[in-house]
Amino acid sequence: MFETCEKIWINAQLASFDPTHAPAYGLLPRHALGIKHGLIQCMAPMPMFEKEHSNLNSTEIVDTQGALITPGLIDCHTHLIHAGNRAQEFEQRLLGASYEQIAQQGGGILSTVYATRKACFEQLVELAIPRLKALMAEGVTTIEIKSGYGLDLDSELNMLRAARELAKRFPVRISTTLLGAHALPPEYKNRADAYIDWVCKALIPAAVAEKLSDAVDVFCEHIAFSPAQTERVLQAAQAYGLGIHVHAEQLSNQHASALAARYQAWSADHLEWLDEEGVHAMAESGTVATLLPAAFYFLRETKLPPIELLRRYQVPMAVATDFNPGTAPLASLRLAMSMACTLFRLTPEEALLGVTRHAAQALGLQDQNGQLREGFAADFIVWDIQHPAELAYQVGINPIKQRVFAGAISHA
Ligand code: NIG
Ligand code: FE
């Protein structure tokens, strides 16, 4: 097994997050991990590896000297591609305006739409690079990126093309999501149903024709789209075989999570107003609950997502940054993990599962990412820490020793 590996990391503590390994974090002490063709080829305890060691002289060996290895981190909900920023809106909110009021007055998402429509493809890519580098530098190897600030054909497709471009230029996996139903564009004022029609009949087919989106998302909310409108978009997504995410129960309970579950959504996201019926529906369909504590923090929300219910029904919880210019100007998945613990009271193990195995599931990548496991992608991080809980506990220190993407060592 090890003799055919291209490279082997030895004397490592593996936080595998493989559910078949019983201890917390799927911890495997003193292990060797070998890779080939961008995949994890074998993992074994050191004594077993040492028995074979004599005939491995041509393989490259990295002695981690007891370092901890986790899967590469996965940020499964971002709006990384956009132009402009909304610092003034942040200021307005601190002076008393609410997120809903600003949106109803034509600001909020729409102000980012105006800025994004003006930007060309190359500008969208350039603006995203520092955000991407910040995430990569702290151990992120897979990122989901949504459209939703274009809201017309060219601008939406351009956002998705820019997202795909990042994966060509940087060692990172990008999962793309078409969020055409994010807000009503000004051209469709008072004609939301006509806009939804266009999203289903023109926008989704165009994105599919260019293979630009892996999934579809809808903002189901009283300031955005109704459950009936959301359902039409989910039907179209399903007809094209795309994955489904829903921005659900962020500001009110629209029963959008139960709706998402009826369409076997990969994830329902935000969930502060989620009720037990919704939790039950998500458990039945295997829909991941993606928690976005940064949006909760920046909007100074007080209503907490129902973590205890999610635990009781064993709904997998993911944690993401929601990086966006309005509700979550945060390019740190590590800080989002810390917020998930301190604000939502996740345990460090739950927070880490939320950026590894469960985040992979939220992107439909559960068979290839998010765990250290033979046959899975060789995306992993070698950390200079003793215990995985440190990753959720400490903020502002970056203990990365090595970032490995598809088997290749890469520093952001
Ligand atoms: O995930 N909730 C809707 N969408 C984003 C915010 C978008 C914005 O304000 O620009 C979110 O919070
Ligand atoms: Fe979002």
Which atom of ligand 1 approaches the CA of 250 most closely? 2
- Residue nearest ligand 1's atom 8 by CA: 326
Strand boundaries in 185-308, DSSP class E: 215-219, 243-248, 267-270, 288-291
Give the ligand with the smallest distance to the CA of 116.
1
- CA-CA distance, 251 to 210, in Å (whole number)? 34
Choose between 59 and 323: higher pLDDT.
323
Q: What is the pLDDT of residue 350?
A: 98
Q: What is the pLDDT of residue 76?
A: 99
Asked if pLDDT for residue 405 goes beyond 60, the answer is yes
Three-state SS sequence of 28-97? EEEEEEEEECCEEEEEEEHHHHHHHHHHCCCCEEEECCCCEEEECEEECCCCCCCCCCCHHHHHHHHCCC
| C-alpha to C-alpha distances, 398 to 3, 62, 66, 402, nearest whole angstrom | 34, 21, 18, 11
Q: What is the pLDDT of residue 54?
A: 65
Bridge partners of residue 9, in order along the sequence: 33, 62
Give the ligand with the smallest distance to the CA of 245.
2
Q: What is the mean predicted confidence (pLDDT) over 9-26?
A: 94
Bridge partners of residue 358, in order along the sequence: none
- Residue nearest ligand 1's atom 3 by CA: 219
Cα-to-centroid distance, 111 and ligand 1 (Å)? 12
Asked if pLDDT for residue 342 goes beyond 70, the answer is yes
Q: What is the mean predicted confidence (pLDDT) over 195-215?
A: 98
Cα-to-centroid distance, 327 and ligand 1 (Å)? 6
Q: What is the mean predicted confidence (pLDDT) over 274-298?
A: 98
Q: What is the pLDDT of residue 22?
A: 76
Residues with CB under 6 A from ligand 1: 108-109, 112, 219, 247, 250, 295, 322, 324-328
pLDDT in tens, 124-145: 999 999 999 999 999 999 999 9
pLDDT in tens, 347-373: 999 999 999 999 999 999 999 999 999
Q: What is the pLDDT of residue 106?
A: 87
Cα-to-centroid distance, 80 and ligand 2 (Å)? 10
Identity of the amino acid at 106: G
Cα-to-centroid distance, 322 and ligand 2 (Å)? 5
- Residue nearest ligand 1's atom 1 by CA: 322
Three-state SS sequence of 294-336? HHHHHCCCCCCCCHHHHHHCCCCEEECCCCECCCECCCCHHHH
Choose between 152 and 411: higher pLDDT.
152
pLDDT in tens, 23-72: 899 999 999 999 999 999 999 999 999 987 767 777 899 999 999 999 99
Asked if pLDDT for residue 299 goes beyond 80, the answer is yes
- Residue nearest ligand 1's atom 9 by CA: 326
- Reference 155, options 119, 185, 186; nearest CA is 119
pLDDT in tens, 83-101: 999 999 999 999 999 999 9
Asked if pLDDT for residue 250 goes beyond 80, the answer is yes
Q: What is the mean predicted confidence (pLDDT) over 97-108?
A: 93
Asked if pLDDT for residue 290 goes beyond 50, the answer is yes
Q: Which of 18-27, 115-124, 230-239 has the lowest mean pLDDT?
A: 18-27
Gyration radius (Cα) of the chain, Å: 21
Identity of the amino acid at 161: R
Asked if pLDDT for residue 412 goes beyond 60, the answer is no
Give φ, ψ of 309 to 5 degrees: -65, -40
In a mutational test of the pocket of ligand 1, which residue from 217, 254, 327 has the highest number of ligand atoms less than 8 Å from its CB?
327
Q: Tokens for 286?
A: 């295997």
Cα-to-centroid distance, 61 and ligand 1 (Å)? 45
- Residue nearest ligand 1's atom 11 by CA: 327
292 neighbors 322 (Cβ within 8 angstroms)? yes
Asked if pLDDT for residue 16 goes beyond 80, the answer is yes
Give the ligand with the smallest distance to the CA of 248.
1
Asked if pLDDT for residue 165 goes beyond 90, the answer is yes
Cα-to-centroid distance, 64 and ligand 1 (Å)? 41
- CA-CA distance, 9 to 110, in Å (whole number)? 48
Q: What is the mean predicted confidence (pLDDT) over 154-171?
A: 98
Task: Report the percent of the chain where pLDDT is more than 90.
Answer: 95
Give the ligand with the smallest distance to the CA of 324.
1
Q: What is the pLDDT of residue 58?
A: 72
